[in-house]
Amino acid sequence: GIQVEQSPPDLILQEGANSTLRCNFSDSVNNLQWFHQNPWGQLINLFYIPSGTKQNGRLSATTVATERYSLLYISSSQTTDSGVYFCAVDSDSWGKLQFGAGTQVVVTP
């Protein structure tokens, strides 16, 4: 099956800092989504981005499908950005997402 690798595994940021999270995948994909899992476990969809660039407030994402990677940018980080960020993809069957291991982000005041 498709392999999904996320880096870094952990990230500690001071409030106001910018950061970049990376997701590499081993095969072409139909779907790529970035999620934020809050401390209570709720997964919040951030972006549906199998290719191209999108922005939503302080967050933006870019997927270069031909090179099989996606980047999530967090600008001017806030403590509420803390949590685990997951990249998930599917390739041969819509909706059967393969998740990466996640990046644990801690934003300190």
Partner 1 sequence: GAVVSQHPSRVICKSGTSVKIECRSLDFQATTMFWYRQFPKQSLMLMATSNEGSKATYEQGVEKDKFLINHASLTLSTLTVTSAHPEDSSFYICSADNSGANVLTFGAGSRLTVL
Residues of the shown chain interacting with partner 1 in the complex, contacts defined by CB under 8 A: 31, 33, 35, 40-43, 45, 48, 86, 88, 94-102
| Residue placing its CB nearer to partner 1 in the complex, 53 or 76 | 53
| Residue placing its CB nearer to partner 1 in the complex, 77 or 85 | 85
Q: Are strands 59-64 and 69-74 parallel, antiparallel or unpaired?
A: antiparallel
| Residue placing its CB nearer to partner 1 in the complex, 18 or 45 | 45
Closest separation in Å from C-beta 42 to partner 1: 5
Give the dihedral of Cα atoms 29, 96, 37, 53; nearest 10 deg: 20
The HSE-up count of residue 48 (CA atoms within 13 Å, CB side) is 6
